[in-house]
Chains A and B, each alone.
Chain A
Amino acid sequence: AQKITQTQPGMFVQEKEAVTLDCTYDTSDPSYGLFWYKQPSSGEMIFLIYQGSYDQQNATEGRYSLNFQKARKSANLVISASQLGDSAMYFCAMREFLTGNQFYFGTGTSLTVIP
């Protein structure tokens, strides 16, 4: 089974609107972390936001927030007030703390912000 599933290959959003990028995960490890990375067309991978499995509140970093629903095993990324510079690939990843250092990445979602 896939550890990380991103079901949206591509998304479009109007500039200044909010957008939600979906991510579901599969683990039996009680302790894990969820990460989102951004990959612009230039190719580098940029860390955006982190959510720990025991965190009570949803993580927020500026315009990024993580809608963490533990029972549903989902960790959706919400980008508020989209900007043209947000156009990029977005990857969801997970690390299972009890089983090691490995990160599992999803297939990514390509976001295009329309002016």
Chain B
Amino acid sequence: DAGVIQSPRHEVTEMGQEVTLRCKPISGHNSLFWYRQTMMRGLELLIYFNNNVPIDDSGMPEDRFSAKMPNASFSTLKIQPSEPRDSAVYFCASRASGHLNEQFFGPGTRLTVL
């Protein structure tokens, strides 16, 4: 099993540019989560999907952020336009159904907005 795959691993962009982060969950997992981690705010849940449907997007900071899950094996998190304060590590995690199943995290995407 390849685990949760995220791309790119590192992204450096200029303010105002569009950024797209990608995630491939573990096959068979039906829940997918996007987190943002910064030193100041720690680990924040941005949005999560269940069976490809967005369930809770209350953590999405503002309209510049959007997330999609067109199918069970792919999700994107898009920031348009990006700002320096968006610089963070963005994690994707997936989870199988069932009470006891933990979340498996991807390696993260380190985003730097100049």
* Residues of chain A whose beta carbon lies under 8 Å from any beta carbon of chain B: 31, 33, 35, 37, 43-47, 50, 52, 91, 97, 100-108
A72 to B105, CA, bound (A): 30
Does the CB pair A45–B55 fall under 8 Å? no
Given A43-B107, A44-B107, A47-B102, are A101 and B31 also a contact pair (CB < 8 Å)?
yes
Does the CB pair B105–A44 fall under 8 Å? yes
Given A103-B45, A107-B42, are A33 and B99 also a contact pair (CB < 8 Å)?
yes
Identify 25 residue pairs between A and B in the complex whose beta-carbon atoms are under 8 Å apart, listed by A's number: A31-B99, A33-B99, A33-B100, A35-B102, A35-B103, A37-B105, A43-B89, A44-B108, A45-B91, A45-B105, A47-B103, A47-B104, A97-B99, A101-B31, A101-B48, A103-B45, A103-B103, A104-B45, A105-B42, A105-B43, A105-B45, A106-B42, A107-B42, A108-B42, A108-B43
A64 to B105, CA, bound (A): 20
* Residues of chain B whose beta carbon lies under 8 Å from any beta carbon of chain A: 31, 33, 42-43, 45, 48, 50, 55-56, 89, 91, 93, 95, 99-100, 102-105, 107-108, 110
Does the CB pair A102–B56 fall under 8 Å? yes
Residue in B closest to A32 when the chains form the complex, CB atoms: B99
Which of A31, A37, A101 counts the most B-chain CB atoms under 10 A from its CB?
A: A101
Of A35, A45, A97, A102, which one neighbours B45 at CB under 8 angstroms?
Answer: A102
Chain B contacts for A33, CB-based, 8 A: 99-100
Given contacts A35-B103, A104-B45, A108-B43, could you give 9 more A-B pairs where the C-beta distance is less than 8 Å?
Answer: A33-B99, A35-B102, A45-B91, A47-B103, A101-B50, A102-B48, A105-B43, A106-B42, A107-B42
